Amino acid sequence: MILIFLGPPGSGKGTQAKRLVTEKGWPQLSTGDMLRASIKAGETLGQKAKTYMDRGELVPDDVIVGLIEERTKAKDAANGFILDGFPRTIPQAEALKKMLERKNSSVNCVLSFNVSDRDLVERLSGRRTCSKCGEVFHVKFSPAKKADVCDKCGGSLIQRDDDKAEVIQKRLSVYHQQTSPLVEYYEKAKKLVALDASASPDKVWDTIMDALKKCSVPS
């Protein structure tokens, strides 16, 4: 089972992918999370990636493809995975296709998360992330019980550098230019299932459960 969550930043891909991990046990491969972990660990790869991330730009394809290739070799990914935030360009999608073909495998389904830019800006600018465990909150839609403190681990909540207003606009324009062509790419491949991701997380979850029935994904 190989599932792609495709959508702009702030469309809820990560939140829904985490729920699938909990309920189905499928590992979530988030390139954004991997890059942030690499930055936190002080690795050279992370330091290089940070310069792109802070500007709201995409990290070069070869770096990202290398990361995913390594991660998919891990034992927990042997029976499939959810790709969250990858691929983000046509060359990344092509590299993924080739990588899977070498293993006689292919993508089962691509869920395309649709949300208006106006809602995305509101979601991203209010997003707060735990600096310790990565749990995500929102100042308006899902505030922490105690301001700036993570409900889950007590860590301090921060605003990601790339969730700041000036970077958000850049990330959205990068999405429209470089990532949205993947909608057509996967539509042509008959893998795409579009969903309205503007509703509440629970409603979107129900939509995902329905969408998965349209894919050749084991339930």
- Residue 10 CB, nearest approach to ligand AMP (Å): 8
- Residue corresponding to tokens 């991203």: 124
Nearest 5°: the CA angle 43, 77, 179 is 70
How do beta strands 81-84 and 2-6 pair?
parallel
How many positions of this chain bind ligand AMP (CB under 6 A)? 17
- Among 180, 173, 168, smallest CA distance to 112 is for 180
Q: Is 102 a catalytic residue?
A: no
Interface residue with ligand AMP among 127, 128, 171, 191 (CB under 6 A) is: 171
96 binds ligand AMP (CB under 6 A): no
CA-to-CA distance for 173 and 90, rounded, in angstroms?
A: 16
Interface residue with ligand AMP among 16, 31, 72, 112 (CB under 6 A) is: 31
178 binds ligand AMP (CB under 6 A): no
- Residue 85 CB, nearest approach to ligand AMP (Å): 3
Whether residue 87 is preceded by a cis peptide bond, meaning omega within 30 degrees of 0, is yes
127 strand-pairing partners: 138
For ligand AMP, which residue has the nearest CB? Answer: 32
CA-to-CA distance for 59 and 38, rounded, in angstroms?
A: 13
83 strand-pairing partners: 4, 29
Interface residue with ligand AMP among 4, 6, 26, 88 (CB under 6 A) is: 88
Which sequence positions are flagged as catalytic? 13, 88, 127, 160, 171
Positions that interact with ligand AMP (CB under 6 A):
9, 31-32, 35, 52-53, 56-59, 64, 85-86, 88, 92, 162, 171
